[in-house]
A and B are shown apart, each in its own frame.
Chain A
């Protein structure tokens, strides 16, 4: 009887030790999982900020007429390609720039003047949706570089947008616009 009790005690002991070990393993892996997730998000945020700041300050896109950051030149944006983006910023980076035009006010106008003004407004709004190519420049206000796979929008991308200026070379005016970049975390290879 004593022997059986002792055997039971040892079995209970072994079971308890196995339980503790399993419990400890689950907790350690869970902790690792959480810290990995946290560091992935931090890495992605850091990468998107780095990309934004690099784009805003690169001489390849900014206008020398202003010597300021965040003033892109429309001609430079038009000639840039996805390959250029990949060379400068790496693989799997999405870049989009859009410019706004000043919408003329048609208030107080009548008759033919109002009709002309409304036509101008329509043209301006259409131009804002037109993606720039070498054939339609400067009657366009959006720059996208999705011609190759390396510059397209991807499902797990994180996007960041900031206001910028775009210098319109033909009209020598500065427009308000938006720069949007998308980055993906981890190794793209």
Chain B
């Protein structure tokens, strides 16, 4: 009788231990390493892509000038050539940073005046969740244009 009681006690201890360890393991395994830092990196990446892109000089002026020219005129090259420059720069940068499978969308929207939105890149980027984005503003006179860049893995 005493032996049987001991056996039962030991069995209960084993079961409790297994449950505790299972809980601890599942907690440890479910923690994806550095998830916050990965999000921070993606934000830095897309922000830098947007700001650097707008500051870059091309034979058609800076990319920021090309964007403003859509709203206010003053293209240095043809509109087609100017638009191609934007696509070239973004695609070359994505390739050089080891991300050829990323898709992107550059979108502009007038903030305090009436005009249309404009897009460069793949408009389907924002159809699926999981994209990351950055926003900045361009000014011309008293007019402000919101510029947004979206990046998504294919």
Contacts and interface: CB of A to CB of B under 8 A. Distances in A.
A12 to B, nearest CB: 8
B17 A175 contact: no
Contacts of B28: 31, 34-35, 38
Nearest to A41: B33
A104 B58 CA distance: 9
Interface in B60-81: 62, 81
B52 interface: yes
B100 to A, nearest CB: 12
A158 to B, nearest CB: 10
Nearest to B28: A34
A161 B44 contact: no
A85 B47 CA distance: 25
Contacts of B38: 45
Nearest to A162: B48
B72 to A, nearest CB: 21
A176 B10 contact: no
A9 B96 contact: no
Contact of B14 (A20, A39, A52): A20
A102 interface: yes
B17 A71 contact: no
A102 B14 contact: no
Given A42-B33, A49-B40, A175-B56, A100 B48 contact: no
A70 B10 contact: no
Given A163-B93, A174-B57, A102 B6 contact: no
Contacts of B21: 24, 27-28, 31
Top 5 nearest A-B pairs by Cβ distance?
A: A45-B34, A41-B33, A45-B37, A161-B97, A9-B3
Interface of A: 6, 9, 12-13, 16-17, 20, 23-24, 27-28, 30-31, 34-35, 37-42, 44-46, 48-49, 52-53, 56, 66, 68, 70-71, 98, 100, 102-105, 107, 159-165, 173-178, 180
